[in-house]
Amino acid sequence: MEKIKIFYAITKGNWGGAQKYVYDLATHLSPEEFSVSVIAGQPGVLCEKLKTQNIPVYNLESLDRDINFTHDLTAFWELLKILREHKPDILHLNSPKMGLLGVLAGRLAGVKKIIYTSHGWPFLENRSWFSKIFFKTLCWKIILLSHQTICISQTEKNLVRNWLFAQKKLSVVYNGIENINFLERKLAREKLNLPETSLVLGVIAELHQNKGLTYLLDAMAEIREEYPNLLLTIIGEGEERKNLEAQIAYSKLQNQVTLAGNIPNAPTLLPAFDIFVLPSIKEGLPYVILEAGLASLPVIASDVGGIHEVIEPEKTGLLTEAKNVPDLILKIQNLISDPETQKVYGENLKQKVEREFSLEKMVRETEKLYK
């Protein structure tokens, strides 16, 4: 039986939630049924990891996240050339820019099935009204030109299900993860230079405005005197580093807050934290919430995107209103004051993630859309 040839395509070749999604699918599809290749923009961690698994990677060097007509046009012709040469049966697109370029190139190349996964709608970001209209129109066109669009939460689907001609093209497939070999708490803290006696809030996130980290720093500035042994460790890197460093210095939080940068296999360090906090202002369904769940950590997260489909208030964690610093402070104080509830939330979340958000389930449901 001839294998189904599938090409994944994504704008950025670095590492983040969308890149992890592509990597997990590319490396866990049935090798007896599928032949897999990946198209990405400039090389990065994703490309390096794929190559170690002997998965072919095609880079579009001219493609990056920002809009540049000349570069984007060049990337489009490069993409079209690859598709015409290799003739994939399925083109699975990720990220808005690759989504638009991909549906156009895929249609011109005669790809039989084009699938787009939305990892969070870009029109929900903090943009001007004109930009929001532009991105809504862009997303609608991607949905129309794709044969199927995967939403990673029911909330994400509900936002677009009433769009013209969209309803029958939408499916929900939750992100899923496999077991993680966590380090023991003591070793994880040693690697992060955290004292064993400290109470640690932890975050793993790109340093981007969408992650709302500035609001968490505001909360830390308000409660640091109340909790002298409280520390905050943020693992990740990004364009907001200088702004966050300036805020930390202004608020005199240098002794309480650490920007740890990118750390390989960062999720294995989750046991170093006492409470996981994700103060995002825009999300789809973040992997880090699932990873924190597998680590049995109590979670405080903004009620954005599909997060509430994982974090059930006062059962598997606490939800806070995005950008609301007093509400964030209150939720942090509530958990700090109740260690027993921390354990209950952490265990409940672990059970839910294992039951509903497994990688096996995600792969199985995605494969059904390929056939």
Which of 172, 194, 227 lies at the terminal end of a domain, its last residue? Answer: 172
Number of domains in the chain: 2
292 lies in some domain: yes
Give me the domain span that covers residue 133.
Answer: 4-172
Residue 202 pLDDT:
98
Q: What is the pTM (predicted TM-score) of this model?
A: 0.92
CATH of the domain at 69: 3.40.50.2000
180 lies in some domain: no
Residues 153 and 205 in one domain: no
Pairing of strands 275-278, 299-302: parallel
Which of 140, 172, 204 lies at the terminal end of a domain, its last residue? Answer: 172
177 lies in some domain: no
Residues 164 and 40 in one domain: yes
368 lies in some domain: no
Residue 127 pLDDT:
87
Residues 103 and 144 in one domain: yes
Contact between residue 271 and residue 207 where contact means Cβ atoms under 8 Å apart: no
Residues 168 and 189 in one domain: no
Beta bridge partners of 172: 151
20 lies in some domain: yes
361 lies in some domain: no
Residues 137 and 203 in one domain: no
- Who's near 287: CB < 8 A, 6+ residues apart? 17, 20, 21, 175, 177
179 lies in some domain: no
**Tens-of-pLDDT digits for all 371 residues of the chain?**
789 999 999 999 989 899 999 999 999 999 999 999 999 998 999 999 999 999 999 999 899 877 778 899 999 999 999 999 999 999 999 999 999 999 999 999 999 999 999 999 999 988 899 999 999 999 999 999 999 999 999 999 999 999 999 999 999 999 999 999 999 999 999 999 999 999 999 999 999 999 999 999 999 999 999 999 999 999 999 999 999 999 999 999 999 999 999 999 999 999 999 999 999 999 999 999 999 999 999 999 999 999 999 999 999 999 999 999 999 999 999 999 999 999 999 999 999 999 999 999 999 999 999 98
How far CA 134 is from CA of 141, 158, 170, 193, 335, in Å, comes to: 11, 19, 21, 45, 41
Residues 142 and 200 in one domain: no
249 lies in some domain: yes
Which of 123, 144, 172 lies at the terminal end of a domain, its last residue? Answer: 172
Q: What H or E segment, with its residue span, contains residue 256?
A: none
Residues 197 and 103 in one domain: no
Query: What is the rounded distance in angstroms from the CA atom of residue 292 to the CA atom of residue 270?
Result: 7
Residue 126 pLDDT:
83
Residue 352 pLDDT:
98
Residues 164 and 215 in one domain: no
